[in-house]
Chain A
Amino acid sequence: GAVVSQHPSRVICKSGTSVKIECRSLDFQATTMFWYRQFPKKSLMLMATSNEGSKATYEQGVEKDKFLINHASLTLSTLTVTSAHPEDSSFYICSARDPGGSGELFFGEGSRLTVL
């Protein structure tokens, strides 16, 4: 399957700081990437759809000014958590669809954010 790489895998930051998470498609071009968030023992919640060269589409209830998404190239999307607070601590996972496939999503390794 397609390879999606995410970095960093773990990050600890202080309240009020901003954290950037990168998501790369390694062996294919992804015009669309998806950002999910997962709390412990809960399922994945879609935060936003990242579109190359245009604005991201955010799900209802997700603050676009809080979670900045940039998809500047066909292989890279970034999620920036701005002015992070302890309640933003979560597992953030990006995903992309192999354009040669049939709709399956392939996930990055995930980034565990801890805000102190």
Chain B
Amino acid sequence: QKEVEQNSGPLSVPEGAIASLNCTYSDRVSQSFFWYRQYSGKSPELIMSIYSNGDKEDGRFTAQLNKASQYVSLLIRDSQPSDSATYLCAAQRAAGNKLTFGGGTRVLVKP
């Protein structure tokens, strides 16, 4: 079992719709979670971080964390073609520790 799992996709979403991405993790000690966006041929860029159960909103992005279910999600509202990328979920045991990445979900937003 992989430590951090994501559906590889592609997740096809019409422009303006909500894209919903899911991530599960196996290490119960994980405390911090991150979503990165990676365009093809580029390095990842941080979108969101979440540390507590519940929702965290930043612009069009909402991260959700449920530690009891070991589940993290990312919602992208009003999806734009520029949101087409691979989204990587990462988990961390404690601040300063290494991040463990999932395989990524490829998102395609169609005009």
Q: Does A97 contact B46, Cβ atoms closer than 8 Å? A: no
| One of B43, B88, B101 near A110 (C-beta < 8 A) | B43
State which size class the interface on B falls in: 20 to 34
Q: Does B46 contact A42, Cβ atoms closer than 8 Å? A: no
- Contact residues in B for A105 (Cβ distance below 8 Å): 34, 46, 90, 99
- Contact residues in A for B42 (Cβ distance below 8 Å): 109-110
The CA of A7 and the CA of B32, in the complex, are separated in Å by: 29
| One of B43, B49, B90, B100 near A102 (C-beta < 8 A) | B49
A43 in contact with B101 given A97-B96, A102-B51, A103-B96 (CB within 8 Å): yes
Q: How far is the CB of A15 from chain B (nearest CB, A)?
A: 24
| One of B32, B96, B103 near A43 (C-beta < 8 A) | B103
- Contact residues in A for B95 (Cβ distance below 8 Å): 102-103
- Contact residues in B for A42 (Cβ distance below 8 Å): 103
- Contact residues in A for B104 (Cβ distance below 8 Å): 43
A-B contact pairs, 10 of them (CB 8 A): A43-B103, A46-B100, A93-B43, A102-B32, A102-B49, A102-B95, A103-B94, A107-B36, A107-B44, A109-B42
